[in-house]
Structure 1
Amino acid sequence: MSRKPDIVMIVTDQQRYDTIRSLGADHMDTPNLDRLAERGVTFSNCHVTAPSCVPCRASLFSGYYPHTNGVLANGQEWSRTWVSKLQEAGYHTVNIGKMHTIPYDAPAGFNERFVVENKDRYYEGRWFFDEWDKALAANGLKKQQREEYRKRADYKTSLGAFTWDLPAHLQSDNFVGGMARWWLKTKPMEKPLFLVVGFPGPHPPYDPTPDYAEKYMQRDVPLPEVTEEELEQLPPPFVEKRRHDVEVDHDSVAWDLKPSRDQLHRMRAYYYANVEMIDREVGEILDALEEAGRLDNAIIIFTSDHGDCLGDHGLSQKWAPYEEVTRVPLIISAPSRFDSGRDVGELVQLFDLGPTILEWAGVSLEDSYEAESLNPALDGKSFKGRSHVFCEQGKDVNLTGAEYLTMVRSKTHKLVHFAGQDFGQLFDLVNDPGERTNLWDDPDSATVKQELKNVMLEWYVNSTIRTRNVRKRTVVPLAEPA
């Protein structure tokens, strides 16, 4: 291909890896994501570098691990990205929807930004009025959120699952999809395009429109199986998280320590319904690209910033680095460039997309990047992937019982280390893929436990050496000095 490709990156928020029908999720209907997978390359073992929104996205768009760029929890400021390098390479850069920079409207290397943030910003950024707020206000409406949901008699038992009862086109994901289509249909473009479409869902509140909610309420969906034995093995920070999530209704989710099967079914049905709504919007974005004559030379990326426990392990939402949280869908589709219908099962990290995209644009990579290009795998060359993937999280609004945790995962085992503590987690992923039996104190597992601790130590040391000249470069001042 002689022309630089258009690059369209679609990022959902909090979407589990097991939510795409063609990749094994028989309970889902996702025809458009299925089409992307059939016409693309799937990375089935892609893991995030942080189990929450802001640090994961800061890492994804910087090319550095959270401990390097200094963004370890939600609410921490970040705005420097590699997107500006695409501008310098001649790209027109656009973000429509959620990006979660702090501040929300930081340029972050984009020529245009149409910001849509969390559905429920009851505490953080409550009075920041994004494009969605403005659209609702223009129609004489305000969004459904915590202060309204709390008036419902069933609020405490709904686990964050509520239908969207305002006009369907103003539901957040429908709105973002519609804005992306509007932009593609109306904006004349002479430069190659880098477009990031950030869907707010299926992050809670889980708010599909009634028709989609009813569809999934009528079908069997996988529900969590949690035993008392597993709950007794949870480390103290996750026990504290369970308590905290009952007392504080973050994101309109009032958690229940012993939810009924009916409660769990409703929560998951609404979550899966929201995923299918996003799938429909993805299909319409692809149609808009085709109508604009941009699809044949486009590379389409579909992924998410992390997953959601949805009751697995007795936990709500994210922050705990189980597979349901750290492992995300990643599909890259460009049939004219990459052989289609392939699955790459080697371990990769979500932030590896950064150098991959920069290489497509002809941009030289910085030696200090901790992210690694996926292009050898896409090009069908020898690709070993990573021997280990890492995930880290600082103390956060929902993770109040730990100052800092680090996950290291090999192909066979996972270790979760809590800074300054004697407790932790160790799982044999071969014999216990559901991560239900904690082997941290098992004498027979002491050798693999120490091996993974050593890997984590070497990772930190090598990271410090490699990035010693670039630390804390992720924030751009609001006003550059003259």
Structure 2
Amino acid sequence: MATLSRRLQAASTRRPNILLITTDQQFADAMSCVMGREYINTPNIDSLAASGTLFTKAYCANPLCVPNRTSIFTGRYPHEHGKQINSTKAINADEFPNIGMVLRKAGYATGYFGKWHLPYPFKRSTARQSGYDQTFDALDYKIAAPTIEFVKKNKDRPFFVVFSLMNPHNICQYGRSQPLPDGDIGEAPAARECPPAPANLEKARNQSDALESVWQARLRAKYKNTEKRMFAPLELWGPDDWRKYRWAYYRMVELADKEIGKVLLTLRREGLEKNTVVIFTSDHGDGIGAHRWSQKNMFYDETARIPFIISHKAATKIGRSDYLVNNGLDIMPTICDYAGAKVPPGCKGVSLRGIAEGKGIPEKREYVACSTHFVQDLRADGEPIDLQGRMIRTADYKYYVFDQGEQPEMLIDMKNDPGEMENLAGNPDYEEVLSEHRKMFAEYKKESGDSFLS
């Protein structure tokens, strides 16, 4: 007891430890603290929400793994660091240092455990090259043990540790009827016993023809030099198939939650909770049947809005915030704020610490921006569709614009149409709103240096 008491006293006077937990492909609402426990149970994620701030309007910078992970760890837009697709070709670490590099320089012990998918050296790399004193990549059920070992080993100095889970990304394998590498979920029950199909199962009225062309192109996507389909057979699935898909998806989230619980339990047992800031998020979401879409890339809320919680026992304000968050930009300055580290030049995000601690909003934010680039989906001639788009999310609306199509724009009233079932671009009653969002898109391009549609 005396040893624990001294450790707690010492912890109160030093910089906090920081634990960044990331899942892969988790939609913002896929937590029982949001949905209730009828179809999903995530007690460990819920415990973070119960002791911290849950941000309800948090979006990714790009709804795809490498682009948004690179943004999360650099604090820069995808068009700045150059990753709009899943390419891990190395970027310039001097120009784009990652969080591990920044905190290691600031005196933190740094560890990264789990899925990497970043454009920095990882396997057989030095700490200077990766940013992390210790790294370990394995299946989800194998990464808690080395993470816990790292925490225990560094409990007497400030540490920054990333706990990066793959699930519920295994839903991709489920959609292709492949084995699930990160844990068995059992056989789906009869559809009537599964979660209901989404209320927004059908495509939006008056949707951009760019979206329809992408949907059709996705049906043609195949693995290189094979006839094997790359994605779920979207055109063949009815409501019952989507019910089973959602059942499976929630089981994968629960598997991730179980692993998260192991690390959180260690913080409690080691007396580290009060001096450890926990940030929980995901790189992007999954369509889970909305508009008959699975996987990622799209600007729908199911794919682009992500869970985001900041929990620091006895320090964070418990509750919810509707402040617009871009997790690709805001995590770097938030972590630097807690660590007392200098934010790298060029970062355009804001620290969310003030909101999490109930000390006020850092600055008024009119919008957050998101990008996408479809390259795996094929046109009728067999060539990649190569379609790009941008999304502006304001307090009440979403504005999409693509670089292809006769009708490349979409405007959604998110307050009255959260399922995104009607495109209001072209509706004369919304001409002024559309004009305002076009101006914000132009402002975003100017401020961020994005040359899209220039």
Give the TM-score normalised by structure 2: 0.82
**SS state at 1:200 partner:** coil
Aligned to 2:113: 96
Aligned to 2:31: 20
**How far did 1:213 drift?**
5.3
Aligned to 1:205: 173
Which range is displaced more, 19-28 or 411-420? 19-28
Matched, 1:382 2:355: no
CA contact (8 A) 2:56 2:308 kept: yes
Aligned to 2:381: none
Which range is displaced more, 7-16 or 369-378? 369-378
CA distance in structure 2 between the aligned counterparts of 1:347 and 1:306, rounded to whole angstroms: 16
CA distance in structure 1 between the aligned counterparts of 2:445 and 2:120, rounded to whole angstroms: 29
CA distance in structure 2 between the aligned counterparts of 1:396 and 1:264, rounded to whole angstroms: 25
CA distance in structure 2 between the aligned counterparts of 1:97 and 1:227, rounded to whole angstroms: 33
Of 397, 418, 423, the residue aligned with 2:402 is 418
**SS state at 2:280 partner:** strand
Measured at CA, do residues 71 and 442 of structure 1 come closer, stay the same or move farther in structure 2, by a change above 3 Å? same
CA contact (8 A) 2:30 2:253 kept: yes
CA distance in structure 1 between the aligned counterparts of 2:246 and 2:289, rounded to whole angstroms: 9
CA contact (8 A) 2:109 2:154 kept: no
**How far did 1:226 drift?**
4.9
Aligned to 1:437: 422
Matched, 1:194 2:160: yes
Matched, 1:238 2:249: no
- Cα deviation per residue 1:12-40 (whole Å; 9 max; x = unaligned)? 00001111111234421111111111111
- Cα deviation per residue 1:158-210 (whole Å; 9 max; x = unaligned)? xxxxxxxxxxxxxx32223344335445x355431110011011012243755
CA distance in structure 2 between the aligned counterparts of 1:7 and 1:253, rounded to whole angstroms: 36
TM alignment of 1:336-347, pairs within 5 A: 336-339=314-317, 341-347=318-324
Matched, 1:447 2:432: yes
Aligned to 1:266: 244
Measured at CA, do residues 188 and 17 of structure 1 come closer, stay the same or move farther in structure 2, by a change above 3 Å? closer
TM alignment of 1:31-50, pairs within 5 A: 31-50=43-62
Of 336, 348, 355, the residue aligned with 2:325 is 348
CA distance in structure 1 between the aligned counterparts of 2:279 and 2:296, rounded to whole angstroms: 23
**SS state at 1:462 partner:** helix
Measured at CA, do residues 192 and 349 of structure 1 come closer, stay the same or move farther in structure 2, by a change above 3 Å? same
Tell me how many residue pairs correspond in the alignment. 407
CA distance in structure 1 between the aligned counterparts of 2:421 and 2:297, rounded to whole angstroms: 17
**SS state at 1:87 partner:** helix
Aligned to 1:406: 390
Measured at CA, do residues 210 and 99 of structure 1 come closer, stay the same or move farther in structure 2, by a change above 3 Å? closer
**How far did 1:430 drift?**
1.8
Letter in 1 for 2:14: R
CA distance in structure 2 between the aligned counterparts of 1:47 and 1:215, rounded to whole angstroms: 32
CA contact (8 A) 2:188 2:244 kept: no
CA distance in structure 2 between the aligned counterparts of 1:90 and 1:109, rounded to whole angstroms: 12
Aligned to 1:110: 132
**How far did 1:103 drift?**
5.5
CA distance in structure 1 between the aligned counterparts of 2:246 and 2:73, rounded to whole angstroms: 30
Measured at CA, do residues 421 and 182 of structure 1 come closer, stay the same or move farther in structure 2, by a change above 3 Å? same
Give the TM-score normalised by structure 1: 0.78
CA distance in structure 2 between the aligned counterparts of 1:307 and 1:319, rounded to whole angstroms: 9
- Cα deviation per residue 1:267-297 (whole Å; 9 max; x = unaligned)? 1111100101111111111112233343331
**SS state at 2:54 partner:** strand
Of 197, 207, 212, the residue aligned with 1:223 is 197
Aligned to 1:322: 300
CA distance in structure 2 between the aligned counterparts of 1:393 and 1:56, rounded to whole angstroms: 10
- Cα deviation per residue 1:62-95 (whole Å; 9 max; x = unaligned)? 1111122222222153453132110111101111
**How far did 1:404 drift?**
1.8
Measured at CA, do residues 178 and 398 of structure 1 come closer, stay the same or move farther in structure 2, by a change above 3 Å? farther
Matched, 1:257 2:241: no
Of 6, 15, 37, the residue aligned with 2:17 is 6
Aligned to 2:64: 52
What value does the CA root-mean-square deviation take over the aligned residues?
2.6
Which range is displaced more, 396-405 or 374-383? 396-405
Of 51, 66, 75, the residue aligned with 1:63 is 75
**SS state at 1:415 partner:** strand
CA contact (8 A) 1:248 1:254 kept: no
CA contact (8 A) 1:249 1:255 kept: no
- Cα deviation per residue 1:302-353 (whole Å; 9 max; x = unaligned)? 11011011121121211111111111111111113223x2111111111311
Q: Percent identity?
A: 30
Aligned to 1:176: 143
CA contact (8 A) 1:245 1:255 kept: no
Aligned to 2:41: 29
Aligned to 1:84: 101
Of 262, 265, 279, the residue aligned with 1:301 is 279
CA contact (8 A) 1:14 1:306 kept: yes
Unaligned runs of 5+ in 1: 116-131, 133-171, 466-482
**SS state at 2:130 partner:** coil
Which range is displaced more, 98-107 or 437-446? 98-107
CA contact (8 A) 1:41 1:378 kept: yes
Letter in 1 for 2:376: V
**SS state at 2:360 partner:** coil
Unaligned runs of 5+ in 2: 1-11, 175-179, 224-228, 379-383
CA distance in structure 1 between the aligned counterparts of 2:191 and 2:160, rounded to whole angstroms: 38
Matched, 1:393 2:372: yes
Of 423, 428, 442, the residue aligned with 1:457 is 442
**SS state at 1:404 partner:** strand
CA distance in structure 1 between the aligned counterparts of 2:22 and 2:56, rounded to whole angstroms: 16
- Cα deviation per residue 1:349-388 (whole Å; 9 max; x = unaligned)? 1131110101111112345321111122122122155210
Measured at CA, do residues 179 and 265 of structure 1 come closer, stay the same or move farther in structure 2, by a change above 3 Å? farther
CA distance in structure 2 between the aligned counterparts of 1:38 and 1:179, rounded to whole angstroms: 27
CA distance in structure 2 between the aligned counterparts of 1:227 and 1:19, rounded to whole angstroms: 17
